[in-house]
């Protein structure tokens, strides 16, 4: 553990991955601020993360959420940079992002930025911790923002269950506290006690924020010496009051809170079982990895596993296991099981089977071969880890600097290497019936509970359970063949790199036939033993109607279901796979170590070739799909608005209500008849990349063609030319403002949402960069005005939108305080104000924004998955502009400020004759009267109300599609 005086710590060399070319250095400033410097000459982005060893556990009684509120307030201004929001504005103008989070025992602040703005950004960042202003003017606005954030969380089942667990713990322990805060805890209650929240905030900051309990990670392009000089200069003035590191001893759960069965009512459809035990935190034994070992086995999905048995019985659709809510003093081991309706009726049997599996682990003892295999997988994963975005990397390191010795700051608990049966057994012994907590979630408990959790209003009841009761459940549970997993044949052993890969800068079309196209992009950048394969099947019958769309969805889930017991071993070994339903059919994705990828590919293909519908699994998957459609009405209003917008714009899409209506009538026989029909006509588009040679890629597509299109009884015939599906988008009429008012689907949700969309053009390099530059210049200003100043809603976005190559921009705002029609007017007022700002913008500020966007486009892909995502996007849409970044940079270099103003006046300006806009207004129950007004109000000139989406869509012109079958070799 990293304990004691920081200067007395003997620092061994920081352990890093064999493939990691970055340089690292630990330094400690005279004020005791401990820092990790990371130098990466190849990086396009720089980043920083400051972790402060104080969090929600330190909230004063009666001021719940104060630590979280402080996190919000530090963003506003400092004595050195007093202009409100100047930090966020600077970060945004230089191509960056910033955010923060408050956890139980720490608060983390972080940002990234283009390299040319890094030094000044660090100076602004440091002032949070030197002289923040925390102005009185901002205090009330940000309390409202915290309250709005809490309002958005109230209907999240995951949060409701989490807070119920906290509520059912000792009121004397800080784990019990409500950490988010709201209007009640930060304004109403403090005022009732004569407290000034801002004064308490400043007092809290002065008491807890000290350099000696802070840990900083800096990720830059400069060498370590230059980074060190910069950091020493910027952060040396953070005060050090030698604050002790806070420790919150004792267990949060006393005997009163153990051996309980809690029945709780969720918001969404479905049933969940959460079984929890207090355990010794793994951080104290991270080299031995007891929780990693146990979660590997309990979470396993192969034959003989707990999940495989529950799945066979038709009782579960998902299972996860592992450590949660971990601190230095206490922790929990948690098993989450998603239940079917039948599983809900067999809850006691499921708990019995879980304890049977735990008993099996006790009887078998701790197995060295399993630990060694797990250790080997972890070691391979660590040493061949993909590079991730610097902002994510620094945030992954800084919170752990307090917990681990410096040499393990990068490794953390990812490399279990000390085999210790006693330590694993110690944690295994904790998973007993004596200290278990069972949380059982189902809407079937509605009206049968007698208590309510105070912060989220979750209805629940508590029953006592005993060891003898659980023993009865164990004895009465089915006598299934639970056993340990087999040895993993997918663990790679060949990590060699292909020496004769082509030096192709962009994907190459290797072959094209009536059956398929094959794109190939060898690895010329990452030099890792990994590959990426995407296989997309276009099947016109798959999207002919709501029924066929639902059947295709069920088919892909069943396919994954049949593969799971065998292919799960591949995912454990770092070779992941996915099969999912698409608009035009379905697609398969394989990504990971290339050594045994071909074996997995052949297994995936074989499973579809021999596909047979199993009635018991069909029933389970149908039930799961039904609940997913039913739960769409419980999505947040901003998510509903996005779905309505897509339904309005995208041709040949079906409302989810029609899918849901089709589901009850579909039976096993329907799917059995449908699959051969769906596959009767198909076209395959394949993208291969990474550590693969040309002949390996060609061999894959040849195998696919042989299985599906050739042989003695081919399943598929090639598509007719007319069957190649086109993704087409509605072309809104110029000079018209369309709006679609609709009531929110969840009557319990008080929040409303607006999606204000401006459609601009079909993919064009110069128009693309103008639109992107507008978003770049307006994004932070919109957030500050609409969210921070006007307090319209915590969720406030301005972002680009791309529908199959048709580009536009959208404002998304979710609010409880104002209705969507009002917010729409505020968006237009913002655009009027921004027009003035654009006219008055100094040329150097315009150039700075252009250069920041160029810098963003110059960013290199960090890993194979990122690169593949970009190229597959071009292929799947049909634009095939693999040189997009270079071409758009060239367009940006030619762009003048006058051209940008002309673009705004033509496409974005309020009331512009050529403008095309669409407002989707989702009304929550707190704005029901405003909904009726909006629906019946007389139309303004050039305003068009959409009453029926499908009628509207069918009456509109469509943009042409980029997608076709005209690719030339």
Structure tokens at 549: 């769309």
CA 685, CA 888: separation in Å to the nearest integer?
27
Contacts of 904 (CB under 8 A, 6+ apart): 774, 835, 838
On average, the pLDDT of the chain sits at 95
pLDDT digits (tens, 9 = 90+) for 928-958: 999 999 999 888 889 999 999 999 999 999 9
- Taking the CA atoms of residue 347, residue 351, residue 357 and residue 358 in that order, the dihedral angle to the nearest 10 degrees is 170
Strand partners, 591: 532, 576
Of the pLDDT bands very low, low, confident and very high (cuts 50, 70, 90), residue 966 is low
State the catalytic residues: 71, 142
CA distances from 575 to 189, 248, 529 (A): 53, 40, 11
Q: What mean pLDDT do residues 22-37 have?
A: 98
Q: Is the dihedral of CA 407, 410, 415, 420 positive or negative?
A: positive
Q: Where in the chain are all domains bearing CATH 3.30.830.10? A: 23-236, 255-389+407-476, 508-718, 732-959
Element containing residue 200 per DSSP (H, E):
helix 197-208
629-653 pLDDT, tens digit each: 999 999 999 999 999 999 999 998 9
**Which tens digit of pLDDT belongs to each residue from 387-423?**
999 999 999 999 999 999 999 999 999 999 999 999 9
Per-residue model confidence (pLDDT) at position 642: 98
**Residue 328 near residue 313 (C-beta atoms within 8 A):** no
As assigned by CATH, the class of the 732-959 domain is alpha beta
Q: What would the mean pLDDT of 188-209 be, rounded to a whole number? A: 97
**Residue 100, strand partner residues:** 109
**Cα(774)–Cα(752) distance, rounded to whole angstroms?**
26
Sequential DSSP letters for 124-152? HHHGGGT-B---HHHHHHHHHHHHHHHHH
- Give residue-wise pLDDT tens across range 330-349: 999 999 999 999 999 999 99
Using DSSP's 3-state secondary structure scheme, residue 337 falls into: strand
pLDDT at position 502 is 78
Compute the average pLDDT of residues 488-512. 91
At 11 the pLDDT is: 57
Neighbouring CB atoms inside 10 A of 319's CB total 22
453 Cβ contact list (under 8 Å, min separation 6): 160, 163, 164, 167, 460
Q: What is the pTM of this model?
A: 0.94
Task: With beta carbons less than 8 A apart as the criterion, state whether 347 and 444 touch.
Answer: no
Local confidence band at 2 (pLDDT 50, 70, 90 cut-offs): very low
Tokens, residue 540? 């016109």
Task: Say if residue 6's pLDDT is above 70.
Answer: no
* Nearest-angstrom CA–CA distance, 191 and 185: 10
Tell me the average pLDDT across 687-708: 96
Query: What is the predicted pLDDT for the residue at 8?
Result: 43
- For 459-479, what is the mean pLDDT? 97
Q: Is the pLDDT of residue 925 over 50?
A: yes
Concatenated DSSP letters for 733-789?
PTTEEEEEEEE-S-TT---EEEEEEEEEEES-HHHHHHHHHHHHHHHHHHIIIIIII
Please state the separation of Cα 263 from the chain's center in Å: 29
pLDDT value at residue 964: 66
744/969: higher pLDDT: 744
Neighbouring C-beta atoms of residue 111, cutoff 10 Å? 25
Looking at the structure, give the CATH architecture of the domain made up of residues 23-236: 2-Layer Sandwich (3.30)
Is residue 486 classed as helix, strand or coil in its secondary structure? Answer: coil
Is residue 724 pLDDT above 60, yes or no?
Answer: yes
Mean pLDDT of 870-884: 96
Q: What is residue 246's predicted lDDT score, i.e. its pLDDT?
A: 83
**Three-state secondary structure of 895-960:** CCHHHHHHHHHHHHCCCCCCCEEEEEEEECHHHHHHHHHHHHCCCCCCEEECCCHHHHHHCCCECC
Q: What is the pLDDT of residue 199?
A: 97
* Assigned CATH class of 508-718: alpha beta
Residue the block writes with tokens 């796979």: 577
**pLDDT given at position 712:** 80
| CA–CA distance, 110 with 88 (Å, rounded to integer) | 11
Q: Residue 795 and residue 776: Cα distance in Å, rounded?
A: 18
Categorize the per-residue pLDDT at 726 as very low, low, confident or very high, splitting at 50, 70 and 90. Answer: confident
Query: Which CATH superfamily hosts domain 255-389+407-476?
Result: Metalloenzyme, LuxS/M16 peptidase-like (3.30.830.10)
What is the pLDDT confidence band of residue 461, given thresholds at 50, 70 and 90? Answer: very high
pLDDT in tens, 654-670: 999 999 999 999 999 99
- The predicted structure's pLDDT at residue 586: 97
Inter-axis angle of helices 694-708 and 597-609, nearest 10: 10
Kindly tell me if the per-residue pLDDT of 273 is higher than 90: yes
Tokens 């913002």, residue? 830
């Amino acid at each position: 553990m990293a304990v004691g005086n920081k200067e007395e710590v003997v620092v061994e060399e920081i352990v890093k991955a064999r493939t990691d070319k970055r340089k690292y250095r630990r330094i400690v400033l005279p004020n005791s601020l401990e820092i990790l410097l990371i130098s990466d000459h190849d990086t396009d982005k720089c980043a920083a993360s400051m972790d402060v060893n104080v969090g929600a556990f330190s909230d004063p009684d009666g001021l719940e959420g104060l630590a979280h509120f402080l996190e919000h307030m530090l963003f506003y201004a400092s004595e050195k940079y007093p202009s409100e929001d100047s930090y966020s504005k600077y970060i945004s103008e230089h191509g960056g992002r910033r955010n923060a989070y408050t956890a139980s025992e720490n608060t983390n602040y972080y940002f990234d930025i283009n390299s040319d703005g890094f030094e000044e950004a660090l100076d602004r960042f440091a002032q949070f911790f030197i002289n923040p202003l925390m102005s009185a003017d901002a205090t009330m606005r940000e309390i409202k923002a915290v309250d709005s954030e809490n309002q958005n969380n109230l209907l999240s089942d995951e949060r409701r269950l989490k807070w119920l667990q906290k509520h059912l713990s000792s009121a004397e322990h800080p784990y019990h506290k409500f950490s988010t805060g709201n209007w009640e805890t930060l304004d109403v209650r403090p005022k009732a006690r004569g407290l000034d929240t801002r004064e308490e905030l400043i007092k809290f900051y002065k008491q807890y924020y000290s350099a000696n309990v802070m840990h900083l990670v800096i990720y830059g392009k400069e060498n370590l010496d230059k980074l060190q000089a910069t950091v020493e200069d910027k952060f040396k003035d953070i005060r050090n009051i030698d604050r002790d590191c806070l420790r919150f001893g004792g267990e949060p759960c006393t005997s009163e809170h153990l051996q309980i069965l809690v029945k709780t009512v969720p918001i969404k459809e479905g049933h969940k079982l959460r079984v929890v035990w207090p355990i010794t935190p793994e951080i104290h034994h991270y080299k031995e990895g007891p929780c990693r070992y146990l979660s590997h086995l309990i979470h396993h999905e192969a034959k003989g596993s707990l999940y495989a048995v529950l799945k066979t019985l038709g009782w579960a659709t998902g299972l996860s296991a592992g450590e949660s809510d971990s601190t230095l003093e206490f922790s929990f081991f948690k098993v989450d099981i998603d239940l079917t309706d039948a599983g809900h009726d067999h809850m006691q049997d499921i708990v019995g089977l879980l304890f049977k599996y735990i008993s099996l682990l006790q009887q078998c003892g701790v197995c060295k071969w399993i630990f060694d295999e797990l250790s080997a997988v972890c070691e391979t994963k660590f040493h061949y880890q993909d590079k991730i975005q610097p902002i994510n990397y620094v945030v992954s390191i800084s919170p752990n600097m307090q917990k681990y010795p410096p040499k393990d700051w990068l490794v953390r608990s990812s490399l279990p290497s000390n085999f210790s049966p006693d330590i694993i057994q110690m944690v295994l012994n904790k998973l007993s019936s004596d200290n278990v907590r069972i949380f059982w979630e189902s809407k079937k408990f509605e009206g049968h509970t007698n208590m309510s959790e105070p912060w989220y209003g979750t209805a629940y009841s508590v029953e006592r359970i005993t060891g003898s009761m659980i023993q009865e459940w164990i004895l009465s549970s089915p006598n299934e063949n639970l056993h340990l997993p087999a040895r993993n044949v997918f663990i790679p052993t060949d990590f060699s790199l292909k020496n004769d890969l082509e030096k192709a800068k962009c994907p190459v079309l290797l072959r094209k036939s009536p059956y398929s196209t094959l794109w190939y992009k060898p690895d010329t950048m990452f030099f890792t033993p990994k590959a990426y394969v995407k296989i997309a099947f276009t099947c016109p019958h798959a999207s002919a109607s709501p029924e066929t769309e639902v059947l295709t969805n069920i088919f892909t889930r069943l396919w994954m279901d049949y593969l799971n017991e065998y292919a799960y071993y591949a995912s454990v070994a770092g070779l992941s796979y996915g099969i999912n339903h698409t608009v035009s059919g379905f697609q398969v994705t394989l990504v990971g170590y290339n050594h045994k990828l071909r074996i997995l590919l052949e297994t995936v293909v074989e499973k579809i070739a021999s596909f047979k519908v199993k009635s018991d699994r069909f029933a389970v998957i149908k039930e799961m799909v039904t609940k997913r459609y039913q739960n769409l009405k419980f999505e947040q209003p901003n998510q509903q608005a996005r779905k309505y917008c897509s339904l309005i714009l995208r041709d040949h899409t079906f409302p989810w209500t029609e899918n849901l209506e089709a589901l009850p009538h579909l039976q096993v026989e329907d799917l059995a008849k449908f699959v051969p029909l769906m596959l009767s006509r198909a076209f395959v588009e394949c993208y291969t990349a990474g550590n693969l040679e040309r002949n390996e890629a060609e061999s894959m597509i040849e195998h696919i063609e042989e299985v599906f299109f050739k042989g003695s009884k081919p399943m598929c015939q090639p598509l007719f030319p007319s069957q190649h599906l086109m993704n087409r988008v509605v072309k809104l009429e110029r000079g018209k403002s369309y709006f679609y008012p609709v009531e929110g689907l969840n009557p319990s949700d008080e929040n409303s949402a607006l999606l204000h969309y401006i459609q601009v053009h079909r993919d064009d390099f110069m128009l693309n960069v103008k639109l992107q530059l507008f978003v770049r210049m307006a994004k932070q200003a919109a957030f500050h005005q609409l969210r921070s100043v006007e307090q319209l809603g915590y969720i406030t976005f301005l972002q680009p939108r791309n529908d199959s190559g048709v580009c536009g921009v959208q404002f998304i705002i979710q609010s409880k305080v104002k209705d969507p029609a009002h917010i729409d007017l505020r968006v237009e007022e913002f655009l009027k104000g921004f027009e003035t700002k654009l006219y008055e913008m100094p040329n150097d500020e315009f150039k700075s924004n252009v250069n920041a966007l160029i810098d963003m486009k110059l960013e290199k892909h960090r890993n194979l998955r990122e690169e593949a995502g970009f190229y597959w996007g071009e292929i799947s849409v049909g634009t095939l502009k693999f040189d997009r970044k270079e071409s758009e940079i060239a367009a940006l270099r030619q762009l003048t400020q006058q051209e940008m103003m002309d673009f705004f006046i033509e496409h974005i300006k309020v009331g512009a004759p050529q403008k095309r806009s669409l407002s989707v207004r989702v009304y929550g129950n707190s704005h029901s009267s405003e909904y009726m007004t909006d629906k019946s109000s007389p139309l303004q000139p050039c305003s068009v109300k959409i009453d029926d989406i499908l009628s509207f869509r069918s009456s509109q012109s469509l943009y042409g599609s980029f997608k076709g079958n005209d690719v030339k070799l």
